[in-house]
Amino acid sequence: MRYEVDPGNPYPEEFTGHVRVVLKDGTTREERQAHFRGGAHEPLSRADLEEKFRLNCAHGGWPAERTEAFLSSSKTFFEKPVGLSAFR
């Protein structure tokens, strides 16, 4: 396995993706991604963001109850001052 940096890649203005795989029989499979999901060109929905948050919290060791309490509270974060000490 090896990689090459594409000198024509528009990074950091754009975050693109490209992978090319050459199989043992010589067949080449290739896929390009013009932008990543969740960026300016394809923003995530609220449900997608919450699911990503849940997965990251689980990976970080937060119990589900703590995660759900934070998500529930987060819906009011822009309405009044917020004390985050309860989420430590």
- pLDDT digits over 14-33, tens only? 888 889 999 999 999 999 99
pLDDT value of position 38: 86
The three-state secondary structure class of 31 is strand
CA 74/CA 60 separation, integer angstroms:
19
Which tokens in the block code for residue 58?
């689980």
pLDDT value of position 28: 96
Taking only the tens place, the pLDDT of each residue in 44-75 is: 999 999 999 999 999 999 999 999 999 998 88
CA 84/CA 8 separation, integer angstroms:
44
